[in-house]
Amino acid sequence: MFSAKPFVLLCSALLLLATPSFSPATAAELTQCAICHTDSGLMDELTEDAIMFGEDDSEISPMQHGKGYGVKQAPFDLFEKMLVDEGFLQSPHGQIPCHLCHQGNPDSDDPAIAHEGLVSDPSLDSEATCGQCHADISKSGSASLHMQAAPLYQTLDKRCSADQLTKLKDTVLDKQCLSCHQGSCGSCHVSRPDVAGGGLQKGHFFSKKPNFIYTCLPCHTSPTGTDFIGKKGSGDIHYRKYNMTCTSCHGGDELHTAAEKGENRYHFSAKIECVDCHDTISDSPMPEHVLHKNVSCAVCHAAPYQNCNSCHIGTDKDGVVYSQSSPSFKGFKIGLNPDKKGPRFVLLREVAVQRDTFKDSIGKMKNYSALPTYKRASPHTIQRRTWQSADCNHCHGNKELFLTQDSMPFDMIVTNRHVALKSADIPGPVQAKRSFILSPTQSDPAMRVTVEWLKKHRRDKNLVILDTRTRDQYEKAHIPGAYHLCFCLFRTPADASPPYMMQTAEKLAKLLAGPRLGLTPKKRVVIYDDGHSGRGVAFLALQMIGHKNISFLDGTIESWQKKGYKTAKGRAPKVTARKYPLANSPELLVNNHDIIELMGSGQAIVVDSRNVAQHNGDMVRSDIAGKGGAVPEAISFPLHTLRNSQGELYPTKRLAWLFSNAGISSGSGDKTIITTCNTNMLAAELYMVLEYLGYENVKVHDGSWAEWAAEFE
């Protein structure tokens, strides 16, 4: 990949750095590379041709999209991928002439000529580049799990025939899988991984500690990343409470260690263990720790976690290999430890690999059953208190938590025979129960309806089914008989000033009673969506006009479809417009200054329903705010904490426990509970759940973080 000559020059350059007479950045500034790549205007101009205009008229370039998974557009302008910070030229790495690492033609100002022979990531050959100074790390790091795909090849070698594996190496593995399964020093310490679009992170500055949001999470998005930051659940206590990130546990000793025998992360000596920090646990006098020595820590301390997305490999119209992530789901399965060492009972994660995953390249895998489809899980949803540990019999005797042979079809029993339990092996209920605190609730069962109930009653005379998704989604498939009002109509548009605020009660009444719905006070409204919180905004709108009879579907449109119930297509029906009589309903919305007044007098609990990374300020919705963070003293409580993988709420008793455990009690005296998020969508959904549980004095922060960040920059 690299000739020896450039690195003789590299060594010479490094020696020059130690010479007192050397002028900082002189070597780099003499190259045309540095002149061009530090010029933001020029970089912007040169990348202009790469910009494509999408359907939403926003600038989206294919160069900003990651390889493989359908990741979101990277949060940076395209030219920033190539822009070098002038300050970098003063750093030790910046004083090495660009072409000694990247090659190319450093004397030409013509991009086509200058980039001939360019090596965009020299650290792919880390021993020849980084190893000039970091010899020990480069030698072991090049054989680490981050830089070589031995476990991937080893796994496929067992599932496939030799001929099939050869075909996969030439097609899928090189073009697709290696975008995640083969990293480099640079993709952690200098740039973003290719899977997230690549590009420099900080103007070519080298970061000793990688940024976990834009470096670790792109490759470890699902299941680990979404679990850790609370995008699909409550988030991990190590991050929530102690602001620990990936490298807090997984340090350089582990990440740079050569993988032993090409096996997985459980099979090398530098792996992290819970007892490395919690070193007194093994000698703990707590009865639970004494009685459960053959149970892994995660069995008791992990909240529901995401199961692996499958890389369903296919080819596009041009024959280019791609992967499409399948929907992930939250689960919790206890099974037998597939390794000979360690606790007997561990958590297992389903690997959604199918016999025909690579059907476009090799057909069905010939030795598919050679490995289990459940592997040992290391959930990043750790909590001190969890539902299964709140009461002994939440686990003991609860067959649903265990991977059992009688719960699987025959071929899965064969595949997972070494990790699945027999029914007789499940620990039975115990007499001793742990007590746990529940917030007193007075839930309204009529508010929460199942798909079975809706199927039975959808033709009732006074029932109105309201689909709150976009018009395009509605017209493609909706519950038969449903009317349509996009949740977006209940708020001010994105280009309004201020944006995303709830419309006035007068406007809402006119909209809801208009020809799209024709609502009258006697009608019972059942709202549903696709799991993206539009129904919460509709629920709030209905309450703002004083409507009393409101229900929500427990689940989503997918819940209806999974039951095998038919859907309809086409435009929404029109009805006779009415005039809705507005009632004197209590004020349900608060603004920034209401929060300051209530919090200042100790009369409010603010609950942030965004994911933990947004609450902590590490992840920013750049389309609505220029900075990250949260309302001071707000409780972080991600909305997805309340739902299972089907979008259904947990049972009422469990919901009450979750709120109580977070310090959100319905018995909080005269305190107002204020829900907030980014733009009031998640906040409205959380408000709906609290109303269902019978919480009193609950309000929604209308502008949410968009309003707060704009006023208090």
Phi (first) and psi of residue 410, to 5 degrees: -60, -45
Write down the CATH superfamily of domain 589-711: Rhodanese-like domain (3.40.250.10)
∠ CA(114), CA(180), CA(366), 5° rounding?
125
> Residue 399: which of 408, 407, 389, 391 has the closest Cα?
407
Question: How confident is the model at residue 23, as a pLDDT?
Answer: 40
Q: 396 pLDDT band (50/70/90 cuts)?
A: very high
Which CATH code, of 3.30.540.10, 3.40.190.10, 2.40.40.20, 3.40.250.10, is assigned to 445-562?
Answer: 3.40.250.10
pLDDT at 64 over 50: no
- Name the more confident of 11 and 150: 150
Q: Distance between CA atoms of 71 and 65, rounded to whole angstroms?
A: 7
Q: 53 pLDDT band (50/70/90 cuts)?
A: very low
pLDDT at 317 over 80: no
Q: Which residues are bridge partners to 245 per DSSP? A: none
Residue 546 DSSP SS3:
coil
Q: Do residues 117 and 86 touch, judged by C-beta distance below 8 A? A: no
Cα distances (angstroms) measured from residue 207 to each of 95, 128, 214, 655: 16, 20, 12, 42
- Name the more confident of 72 and 619: 619
Tokens of 14: 């490094």
Task: Report the predicted TM-score, pTM, of the whole model to 2 decimal places.
Answer: 0.88
* Least confident among 20-29, 140-149, 306-315: 20-29
Q: Distance between CA atoms of 203 and 551, rounded to whole angstroms?
A: 52
Examine domains 445-562 and 589-711 and report if their fold is the same: yes
As a 3-state breakdown, the chain gives helix, strand, coil percent values, each rounded to 5, of 40, 10, 50
Q: 561 pLDDT band (50/70/90 cuts)?
A: very high
| Percentage of the residues of the chain whose pLDDT score is greater than 90 | 51
> Residue 118: which of 128, 101, 96, 103 has the closest Cα?
103
**Model confidence over 442-475: pLDDT tens digits?**
899 999 999 999 999 999 999 999 999 999 999 9
Question: How confident is the model at residue 5, as a pLDDT?
Answer: 39
Radius of gyration of the chain (CA): 28
- Name the more confident of 530 and 259: 530
Q: 54 pLDDT band (50/70/90 cuts)?
A: very low
Question: How confident is the model at residue 76, as a pLDDT?
Answer: 58
Q: 201 pLDDT band (50/70/90 cuts)?
A: confident
Tokens of 367: 């030795």
Cα distances (angstroms) measured from residue 345 to each of 305, 377, 402: 17, 11, 10
Q: Which residues contact 45 (CB under 8 A, 6 or more apart)?
A: none
Q: Distance between CA atoms of 520 and 461, rounded to whole angstroms?
A: 13
pLDDT at 303 over 90: yes
> Residue 313: which of 168, 196, 181, 160 has the closest Cα?
168
**Model confidence over 11-33: pLDDT tens digits?**
333 333 333 333 444 444 457 88
**Model confidence over 432-445: pLDDT tens digits?**
666 677 777 889 99
* Least confident among 23-37, 363-377, 406-420, 682-696: 23-37
Q: Distance between CA atoms of 253 and 6, rounded to whole angstroms?
A: 30
pLDDT mean over 47-71: 47
pLDDT mean over 695-704: 95
pLDDT at 312 over 80: no
> Residue 325: which of 469, 255, 225 has the closest Cα?
225
pLDDT mean over 138-152: 84
Q: Do residues 299 and 347 touch, judged by C-beta distance below 8 A? A: yes
Question: How confident is the model at residue 560, as a pLDDT?
Answer: 97
Answer whether the bond into residue 498 is a cis peptide, omega within 30°.
Answer: yes
DSSP collapsed to 3 states, 86-133: HHHHHCCHHHCCHHHHHECCCCCCCHHHHCCCECCCHHHHCCCCHHHC
Q: What residue ranges do the domains of the chain occupy?
A: 274-425, 445-562, 589-711
Q: Which residues contact 159 (CB under 8 A, 6 or more apart)?
A: 353, 365, 367, 368, 370, 371
Q: What size, in residues, is the chain? A: 713
**Model confidence over 410-426: pLDDT tens digits?**
888 888 999 999 988 89
Q: Rounded mean pLDDT of the chain? A: 86
Q: 48 pLDDT band (50/70/90 cuts)?
A: low
Q: Distance between CA atoms of 659 and 558, rounded to whole angstroms?
A: 27
76-80, 215-219, 510-514: range with highest mean pLDDT: 510-514
pLDDT at 176 over 70: yes
Tokens of 614: 């947004």
Answer whether the bond into residue 573 is a cis peptide, omega within 30°.
Answer: no
pLDDT at 362 over 50: yes
pLDDT at 330 over 90: no
DSSP letter, residue 568: B
Q: Do residues 255 and 146 touch, judged by C-beta distance below 8 A? A: yes
pLDDT at 134 over 70: yes
**Model confidence over 628-680: pLDDT tens digits?**
999 999 999 999 999 998 889 999 999 999 999 999 987 666 799 999 999 99
